[in-house]
Amino acid sequence: DTEVTQTPKHLVMGMTNKKSLKCEQHMGHRAMYWYKQKAKKPPELMFVYSYEKLSINESVPSRFSPECPNSSLLNLHLHALQPEDSALYLCASSQAGQGLNYGYTFGSGTRLTVV
Amino acid sequence: GDSVTQMEGPVTLSEEAFLTINCTYTATGYPSLFWYVQYPGEGLQLLLKATKADDKGSNKGFEATYRKETTSFHLEKGSVQVSDSAVYFCALSVPPGGKLIFGQGTELSVKP
Residue A32 is predicted with a pLDDT of 93
Neighbour-count burial for B49-83, b at 16+ CB within 10 Å, e otherwise: bbbeeebebeeeebbbbbbeeebbbbbebeebeee
Q: Which carries the bigger pLDDT value, residue A77 or residue B40?
A: A77
- CA-based nearest residue in chain A for residue B38: A108
Q: Return the closest-CA partner of residue A21 out of A32, A9, A37.
A: A9
Q: What element of type H or E holds B33?
A: strand B32-38
Residue A1 is predicted with a pLDDT of 67
d(CA A50, CA B24): 29
Residue A100 is predicted with a pLDDT of 60
- pLDDT category at A103 given cuts 50, 70, 90 is confident
Of A92, A100, A105, the CB nearest to B95: A100
Residue type, A62: S
Would the CB atoms of A90 and B93 count as touching at under 8 Å? no
**How buried is residue B1: exposed, middle or buried, by Cβ count under 10 Å (0-12/13-18/19+)?**
exposed
- Cβ distance A35 to A105 under 8 Å? no
Instruction: Give chain A positions within 8 Å (CB) of B42.
Output: 108-109
Residue A90 is predicted with a pLDDT of 97
Q: Which of residues 50-69 of A touch B (CB under 8 A)?
A: 50, 56
Residue A21 is predicted with a pLDDT of 98
- Cβ distance A5 to A107 under 8 Å? yes
d(CA A22, CA B20): 37
Q: Which carries the bigger pLDDT value, residue A114 or residue B41?
A: A114
Torsion of CA A34, A38, A44, A90, to 10 degrees: 20
The answer to whether residue A99 scores a pLDDT higher than 60 is: no
Strand segments, DSSP code E, in A1-115 are 4-7, 10-13, 18-25, 31-37, 44-50, 53-57, 64-70, 73-79, 87-94, 105-106, 110-114
- CA-based nearest residue in chain B for residue A90: B43
Instruction: Give chain B positions within 8 Å (CB) of A106.
Output: 36, 43-46
Would the CB atoms of A42 and B104 count as touching at under 8 Å? yes
Phi, psi of B17 (to 5 degrees): -75, 165
d(CA B38, CA B48): 13
Write down the mean pLDDT value for chain A: 92
Residue B94 is predicted with a pLDDT of 78
The answer to whether residue A43 scores a pLDDT higher than 60 is: yes
Q: Return the closest-CA partner of residue B108 out of B32, B27, B47.
A: B47
- Cβ distance A114 to A60 under 8 Å? no
Residue B24 is predicted with a pLDDT of 98
The answer to whether residue A71 scores a pLDDT higher than 80 is: yes
Residue B37 is predicted with a pLDDT of 97
Residue type, A72: S
d(CA A6, CA B56): 32
How remote is the C-alpha of B45 from its chain's centroid?
11
The answer to whether residue A48 scores a pLDDT higher than 70 is: yes
Would the CB atoms of B95 and A101 count as touching at under 8 Å? yes
Instruction: Give chain A positions within 8 Å (CB) of B45.
Output: 106
pLDDT (tens, 9 = 90+) of chain B, 112 residues, equals: 889 999 888 999 999 999 999 999 999 888 999 999 999 988 999 999 998 999 999 999 999 999 999 999 999 999 999 999 999 999 998 776 668 899 999 999 999 9
Residue A98 is predicted with a pLDDT of 59
- CA-based nearest residue in chain B for residue A47: B99
